[in-house]
Amino acid sequence: MRFFVFIIFFSLFIQAAMANEETPTTKIKILQSWAGDNAFYIWTDEQAKLNPANCNYSGSYYLPASASESTKSMIISAAMSKANVKFVLYSEGCQQNRPQVVAVKIIGD
């Protein structure tokens, strides 16, 4: 019985440790997309970039081409209006050797 309780506790601890992470409030400085690719490379004004998956390159974030159109629209809008944003980053892997954005929040004043 103790072993069963230990396994449950350990699995809950591991899941909590591997949760996605949210950046501090920031502004988008550069938004880049290559021709023929619907992915975004995002540079922000954060002093220290969040890198929950320990990616090789942590100078910018990556939004994959598979992201929803609403997410892409929010990021473009935030970049154009210089709005405050927070990104939620995937903690269990990298895309293009960068931290992967899985959600975006536009923060009002």
**At residue 3, does pLDDT exceed 60?**
no
Average pLDDT over the chain, rounded to an integer: 86
Q: Where are the domains of the chain?
A: 20-107
φ, ψ for residue 3, nearest 5 deg: -65, -40
| pTM for this model (two decimals) | 0.80
CATH for 20-107, among 3.30.2320.50, 2.40.50.140, 2.30.300.10, 3.40.1440.60? Answer: 2.40.50.140
**At residue 27, does pLDDT exceed 50?**
yes
φ, ψ for residue 10, nearest 5 deg: -65, -45
Interval 62-91: pLDDT, tens? 999 999 999 999 999 999 999 999 999 999
First to last CA, the chain: 52
**At residue 43, does pLDDT exceed 50?**
yes
